[in-house]
Amino acid sequence: MDTKHVVELRENGYAVIRGFLDKAEVAELQRESERVYAEGLKHHASYRDKNLYFEVVNDPGNGRRNVPQAHWFSWINPVLEKSRRSQKRFDVLAPLLGPDIKQIANQLHWKAPGGKYTYYRMHQDVRFRTRPDLFANLDRYSLNTGLALNRQDASNGALKVVPGHHRRGYLGLSEDGGIMVGNVEQGSELRQVGVDPSEVVQLEMEPGDLVLWTLYTIHGSGPNISTEPRILQIDSYVRAEDSPDRGEWAFRDGRSVPLGDEPQICKYEQLRENPGPFYVEDTWTDEAKSADARRKAAV
């Protein structure tokens, strides 16, 4: 396999592999993603069962109950479970991470047309490693992949990246206490950390394209103002020797490893103490915060 993505990732902080999956492969994953979404809609609120998680939001933008994201859906979908550890995945990851690879995140992200909460502020994913003491070499041997399951561009909120600044380390973007999603102007936030907004690259991806980025790559996305959703499968991988206590095996000595009998702690640190299942009532949206303020004022 062509490994130019290795050079591009190290140099720019991101790389795009065009045509990573063919049309038939994409069509299969599209069907399975629809099944995952339908499963999420069965819940009235965000729901967790061990590592499986559905974020469910009553979105005032389009007046519908939406599922913005699902985590570790591979526990309930055999087709998607195999896709996270396919030979094609290994061929891309091995030149970067070696033959022993663990997986930290397994996510599907949907941006619903007209939704209010479809805009991601510019950030660096290393901020979501809440236990950095349990990892090593996060700057070099940990990365994310985003698989486009439909056409993605500026109109439906495709990924935006800032090349090169991953070499500067963690810059503290979007740590003002505000929410990560919503219609927020991004230019001023970038200027505060020494990034010219003109450096932002708007990605355009066809179904089956795969983008890779590092945990220090500055990225975000705009709102979905189109009539079509944006469906992106995000999987995060790490060199196994740098993550002895976190993550599910994806490849061991180059061999694909299926999920075991019990989930391992990945990003949900409370897995052992509070495995679920349980519902997580909305507390972060503007509407939830306003309702909470009204309740407190009435007391």
Residue span of the structural domain in which 294 resides: 4-298
Mean pLDDT, all residues of the chain: 93
* Residue 103 exposure: Cα atoms within 13 Å on the Cβ side: 29
* pLDDT tens per residue across span 25-84: 999 999 999 999 999 999 999 999 999 999 999 999 899 999 999 999 999 999 999 999
- Distance between CA atoms of residues 94 and 92, nearest Å: 6
Indicate the pLDDT class of residue 282, thresholds 50, 70 and 90. Answer: confident
The pLDDT value recorded for residue 284 is: 74
Q: Are 138 and 196 in contact (CB under 8 A)?
A: no
Report which of 23, 14, 19, 27 is spatially closest to residue 2, judged by C-alpha positions.
19
- Distance between CA atoms of residues 243 and 254, nearest Å: 17
Residue type at 169? G
CATH number, position 28: 2.60.120.620
Number of structural domains found in the chain: 1
Report which of 250, 238, 219, 73 is spatially closest to residue 149, judged by C-alpha positions.
73
The pLDDT value recorded for residue 285 is: 79
Cα 86 to chain centroid, rounded? 19
Q: Report pTM.
A: 0.94
